[in-house]
Structure 1
Amino acid sequence: MVLERAWRVGLRSWKPTNSLFRVTPRNFSITSPATAARPRWQRYLWRTSYFGLGVGVIYGLDRQFNASAIGRNLRALWACALITADYKLNFTPEKSDQIPELHERVANIMFNLFTSNGGLYIKIGQAIGANAAFLPRPMQVKFASLFDDAPQIPYSDVLSVFTSEFGRPPSGPDGMFEYFDEQAVASASIAQVHKARMWPEPGEAAGEGKWVAVKVQKPAVAKQTEWDLAAYRLVMYLFEKGFELPVYFVVDFVSDHLRRELDFELEAANAQRTAAYVAADPRLSKTVYIPRVFPALTTKRIMTAEWIDGVRLSDRAGILRLMGDLPGAAAPLRGGTRAIMEPMVELFSAQMFLWGWVHCDPHPGNVLVRPHPSAPRTPQLVLLDHGLYVQLTEEFRRDWCSVWEGLLAGEWGIVEGVTRKWGVGVPDLFASAVLMRPVRLGRGRPQREAEERGKRLEEMTNYERSVVMKAKLKGFLTDTDRMPKVLIFLLRNMRMVQGNNKTLNSPVNRIKITGFSASRALTRSTPHASLRTRLHEYYHYLVFRTVMLSLDVAFLVARTRQWLFRVLGLGRDGMGFEDEIERSVRGLAKSSFGMDVGADAFDG
């Protein structure tokens, strides 16, 4: 202690003369005479230069060796900070009139983040956009234009992936294929597809090998995945804590399924399993086709499947010409657009209610229509992209069937019982989301009450309506631990099928087909039940069939009105059945929740 005190006293009293180094009184740093003589602005300039150089080196290394994973995360965290700060500062009663502009700014920040980062961010953005109807109007508009499209990676990257996976190039004397097109025919966020021709089999001449579609995962995706999912986890956590909305509970489930999409061996297995289900169904086997995969030419990052020529459902004009609804087809296929949508709705209904094995990405780009190989005048659906599936438990599958049958047969007690079991606090809203049509459970709620509530909402300020909507959405999920996470993907699936039907002018009664499938699944799943149980099921099935007649009448009225519009030249197609349903849903959202839902929020 004495020595320490003496050292401090001596240090304060010591005055350097003309030594090589100088100890400054402020920070005791050792500096050279030349450095001490520099002006302060020069010292700051050098420090700024060193800092910029360090940042540049880190940026270059991250981009070159880490697929910009760190930069993407920093961009995500910055966007999250901007959104949080903007809402905290500007979402106030005093700034109620500026809330639409606030939503517009946030929508732009989120859209720019997803499109700039690409990769899994596009998938996450699409998952959010699938339920855009519950978001503010500016976000509905932005997410409607969030497509899974991305620039192609150069052929040198494709070559490196093939060398890593197979130890051989895609083509050439020692190549995996006899011919491989270096230009991709399609490119998405995580992979791109090339057309190739397999080597001829024994007995085939050169050039007679099968044409195949080769899906190649982009090299950067594997490096970015865990970083992206970690950022997604953090962002959802911050939003739950900052905005007090139950969103974090889905993180593990969604992250797990996004990881599965990156395993192309798993995707090939999914396709084979679905093909087996389709082949075992006498009706679907004639109308639906799953392209054959080649396991010997498939790895975790490369998948080879049969090449199929057809018209994508996203090409609306091409589909209408193919089916003879527009001029230009030399030999249109029979059945019109009904022959496309009917098997599509039946396929996804069978997946949900019978197989318990559901394709969760049926957007129009993943569905082809072609002439049936055995019946050239008959259309056949080809389902692509089998990376994202969910497996339903038997208990959930039966509950899901019961909800659908109960909704359409007016058995509100069954519907409310199942939804409460799932931790849903607002069964009416859930039922409306399932059917994509307004549903009010029970008979004791007069329409007048809804109208009066709507008037009160319209009299509120933007801030007050937002607070009410937030409170109702929080009350929607009362127990997130009990909610089956698969509902996230099932509702996405049904919304996309609904959007596909709407795009083709609503040629089929989607709700009726889906409801019949759910009811049949319930009766078929109890073959060994007691006689009393089976009689009870069949009785409810008869009641259900009777109630469904009203749907037939509504559908017939909508189709007749469409026909009259075309004949009288009053419009392209008039209001289709799905358009009528959407108009009712938008009215319910406006009157009950104050949501301004756009006409395109339900497009597939």
Structure 2
Amino acid sequence: MLPRLSRSLLVKRTIYTTFSFGAAYLADTELNASAVTRNLRTLWTCALISADYKLNFTPEHADRIPAIHQRVADRMYDLFTSNGGLYIKIGQAIGANAALMPAPFQQKFARLFDDAPQIPYRTVARVFQREFKKSPQELFAYFDEEAVASASVAQVHKARTWDGEWVAVKVQKPDVGRQIGYDLMAFRAVMWAFEKWVFDLPVYFAVDFISAHLRAELDFIAEASNSQRTASLIALEPRLAGKVHIPKVYPEYSTKRVLTAEWIDGVRLSDRDALARVVGEKVPERSGGMFADTEHKQRRNGVPESMRDVELFSAQMFDWGFVHCDPHPGNIIIRARPASSSSFFSLPSSLLSKSVLRDPELVLLDHGLYVTIRPHVKRQYASLWRALLSSDWDTIRNVTESWGVGEAGLFASAVLMRPVRMKRTGNGSSPHAEKDSGANGTTGDAGAELDAYEQSVRMKERLKRFLVDTDKMPKELIFLGRNMRIVQGNNQSLGSPVNRIKITAYWASRSLVTSNGRTPTTRTSLRAWWAQLDARELWQDVVFRTVMFSLDVVFLVSKLRQRVRALLGLANGGFEDELERSVRGFTRSAFGVEVGPEAFEG
């Protein structure tokens, strides 16, 4: 039994220690936006993950590996949702590229949405006082204190200017700015540990590039600049002008942490029922809708018109070299094209009538995350796309080798989102490729014979051969791959109304023919365009267009099969669904990884 003095001293020390930790926690919460607490949570979670893999990822414990993957996926998901903020963005990046990850990651991260509780109005008012020295009610004639949408980084309020214009006011959550330095420091430490100690895979090379773009996403002045630049580029592109709209920005109501833009009435691309009503498509099992049957027939091409994002992002990648990297369905609104091309006004969808309704117009939101593609990388990327469709295997190999990629076939499959197998002929001369065919795209299930440990080792070795020289790899490809994957998901979610691969490839080929890739519209511009023609590229473009006819046939057969199955009441699927099945077969045979359908949800 301790002496009374010792017990008293122990009690005092316990009280002091508890008080100190409590004070530190309170200070971190109130003054530091819980940055230290969040980082400790991150480091602890990563330590658990590392220890779990180090101790249990062994040949002797192969039967336990699926359970390890499940525990790790659960821990990572809980970490991202608990920390919020930029952690949600990192989790979404994982989710967008989860197809080659174990099944628990595919299932978990497909459900990681950019949603968060609202910050209270008093906090919003403090942001306005700091940015404008005015309250929201002083700055605007009307300001809705309840946010209409809230994400991890910012929330949006509806307001009206003193000139009577309705606007969307995006307000950055104050905690995010205070957390970002700590978050990126933890991100850097974790990636270093995963590469050097845990997984022995090259993942650290992209940290600086990703961190810089995540920082830029918090600068709303930069976002306004991105938005205005994109609007100017669209206005100069005849194939997009009047069909794609970028909300007007109000610089006088915008700062680094507050962005005010034109309010847009329409429906999200993710809201399929509402989208069907706006574009005039018939909604199953629903009567008394907005449009009569005759209007459905007149506007049966409404859904393909709504998929202008394929053309828009192709122009960004291959012509402009300035790419929006977060085109998820929540950032795309479809509305009826305004009655006047000079008007920014659009009636609410509930008030649309036959006299006002015109062709659908795509509205692109959230211009915070952009990547600029260097000119030589842009040209290489366009060359790669054209080569993939015209079976120019020498070009594919030359481009991938210049990028430090050791697995040309794997890289080609990732870019095209279609299985491509490259190998050399028997005499070791020129390379050629095998394309998986059929609905499931299987070329054998060798991977299915491996146990969980052997499958994981096989994938790791394949990925290490894939990233041979990370110093050569253009970092822009990280975000380009994300963009392409989301656009594919958008098209797939609407039943594959457009041939995404064909559209993308045509833009790539056109961009190589001339320096600006644009179609001439006047006699003067025709002469300038002709002067810029590259004869060699023009000939390759002609060859490419001839080859592309086969893809048209495949797409038309797919659409015919889709309609026949619908008439027979059978399970249906579009062109993208067939490609998905092909990719799933490819990953099973190449990596021994069973990819679930959740990995392909847009």
Distance 2:477 2:379 in 1: 14
Distance 2:183 2:136 in 1: 30
Deviations 1:347-386 (A, max 9, x none): 1100000011100000000000000002722100000000
Matched, 1:243 2:230: no
Match for 1:325: what amino acid?
K
Distance 1:393 1:132 in 2: 27
CA contact (8 A) 2:149 2:156 kept: yes
Distance 2:267 2:451 in 1: 48
- Compare 327-336 and 397-406 and name the one that shifted more: 327-336
Distance 1:546 1:460 in 2: 42
Residue of structure 2 equivalent to 1:576: 574
Matched, 1:506 2:496: yes
Residue of structure 2 equivalent to 1:560: 560
Deviations 1:468-511 (A, max 9, x none): 11111111110001110000000100110000000000001000
Matched, 1:471 2:434: no
1:526 Cα deviation from its structure 2 partner: 8.3
Distance 1:447 1:395 in 2: 28
CA contact (8 A) 1:526 1:534 kept: no
1:296 Cα deviation from its structure 2 partner: 0.8
Residue of structure 2 equivalent to 1:358: 323
Distance 2:446 2:223 in 1: 51
CA contact (8 A) 2:265 2:335 kept: yes
CA contact (8 A) 1:453 1:592 kept: no
Residue of structure 2 equivalent to 1:389: 370
1:442-457 paired onto structure 2 within 5 Å: 442=423, 444=425, 454-457=444-447
Matched, 1:349 2:305: no
CA contact (8 A) 1:412 1:442 kept: no
1:185-334 paired onto structure 2 within 5 Å: 185-200=148-163, 209-241=164-196, 242-323=198-279, 324-326=281-283, 327=286, 329-331=289-291, 334=299
Distance 2:505 2:598 in 1: 25
Residue of structure 2 equivalent to 1:85: 51
Residue of structure 2 equivalent to 1:24: none
**What is the TM-score with the length of structure 2 in the denominator?**
0.89
CA contact (8 A) 2:514 2:533 kept: no
Aligned residue among 96, 100, 112 for 2:66: 100
Inter-CA distance 526–301: structure 2 relative to 1 (3 Å threshold): closer
Aligned residue among 505, 509, 514 for 1:524: 514
Match for 1:388: what amino acid?
L
Residue of structure 1 equivalent to 2:551: 551
1:64 Cα deviation from its structure 2 partner: 0.7
Match for 2:407: what amino acid?
V
Aligned residue among 366, 379, 385 for 1:398: 379
Residue of structure 2 equivalent to 1:422: 403
CA contact (8 A) 2:445 2:588 kept: no
Residue of structure 2 equivalent to 1:535: 535
Please list every run of 5 or more consecutive structure 2 residues that lacks an aligned counterpart in the other structure: 340-355, 426-431, 518-527
Inter-CA distance 76–448: structure 2 relative to 1 (3 Å threshold): closer
- Compare 387-396 and 37-46 and name the one that shifted more: 37-46
Distance 1:497 1:455 in 2: 29
Distance 2:532 2:250 in 1: 49
Distance 1:603 1:297 in 2: 37
Count of residue correspondences: 556
CA contact (8 A) 2:406 2:468 kept: yes
Distance 2:364 2:70 in 1: 36
1:39 Cα deviation from its structure 2 partner: 7.1
Aligned residue among 69, 86, 104 for 2:35: 69
Distance 1:452 1:506 in 2: 22
Aligned residue among 366, 371, 395 for 2:336: 371
1:533 Cα deviation from its structure 2 partner: 8.6
Say which SS state the counterpart of residue 599 (structure 2) adopts: coil
Distance 1:593 1:497 in 2: 25
Which structure is larger by alpha-carbon Rg, 1 or 2? 1
Aligned residue among 157, 160, 177 for 2:123: 157
Residue of structure 1 equivalent to 2:343: none
1:443 Cα deviation from its structure 2 partner: 6.3
Residue of structure 2 equivalent to 1:57: 23
Say which SS state the counterpart of residue 158 (structure 2) adopts: strand
Inter-CA distance 284–447: structure 2 relative to 1 (3 Å threshold): closer
Distance 1:294 1:507 in 2: 35
CA contact (8 A) 1:454 1:592 kept: no
Residue of structure 2 equivalent to 1:10: none
CA contact (8 A) 2:42 2:79 kept: yes
CA contact (8 A) 2:420 2:433 kept: no
Say which SS state the counterpart of residue 534 (structure 2) adopts: helix
Match for 1:215: what amino acid?
K
Say which SS state the counterpart of residue 441 (structure 1) adopts: strand
CA contact (8 A) 2:336 2:357 kept: yes
1:330 Cα deviation from its structure 2 partner: 1.4
Inter-CA distance 368–526: structure 2 relative to 1 (3 Å threshold): closer
Inter-CA distance 500–530: structure 2 relative to 1 (3 Å threshold): closer
Distance 1:180 1:129 in 2: 35
Greater relative contact order (CA < 8 Å, ≥ 6 in sequence): 2
1:120 Cα deviation from its structure 2 partner: 0.5
Distance 1:325 1:237 in 2: 52
Aligned residue among 567, 573, 596 for 1:598: 596
Inter-CA distance 169–40: structure 2 relative to 1 (3 Å threshold): same
Inter-CA distance 415–132: structure 2 relative to 1 (3 Å threshold): same
Inter-CA distance 356–461: structure 2 relative to 1 (3 Å threshold): same
CA contact (8 A) 2:421 2:435 kept: no
Distance 2:255 2:597 in 1: 42
CA contact (8 A) 1:215 1:303 kept: yes
Distance 1:247 1:185 in 2: 37
Deviations 1:57-91 (A, max 9, x none): 10011001110000000000000000000001111
CA contact (8 A) 2:277 2:290 kept: no
Distance 1:532 1:120 in 2: 44
Say which SS state the counterpart of residue 377 (structure 1) adopts: coil
Inter-CA distance 130–551: structure 2 relative to 1 (3 Å threshold): same
Inter-CA distance 354–530: structure 2 relative to 1 (3 Å threshold): closer
Say which SS state the counterpart of residue 357 (structure 2) adopts: strand
Name the Cα RMSD after superposition. Answer: 2.3
Distance 2:569 2:561 in 1: 12
1:453 Cα deviation from its structure 2 partner: 8.9
Distance 2:64 2:195 in 1: 24
CA contact (8 A) 1:367 1:381 kept: yes
Identity %: 57
Deviations 1:245-267 (A, max 9, x none): 10001000000000001000110
Say which SS state the counterpart of residue 370 (structure 1) adopts: strand
Inter-CA distance 532–78: structure 2 relative to 1 (3 Å threshold): closer
Matched, 1:587 2:577: no
- Compare 449-458 and 418-427 and name the one that shifted more: 449-458
Distance 2:503 2:487 in 1: 12
**What is the TM-score with the length of structure 1 in the denominator?**
0.88
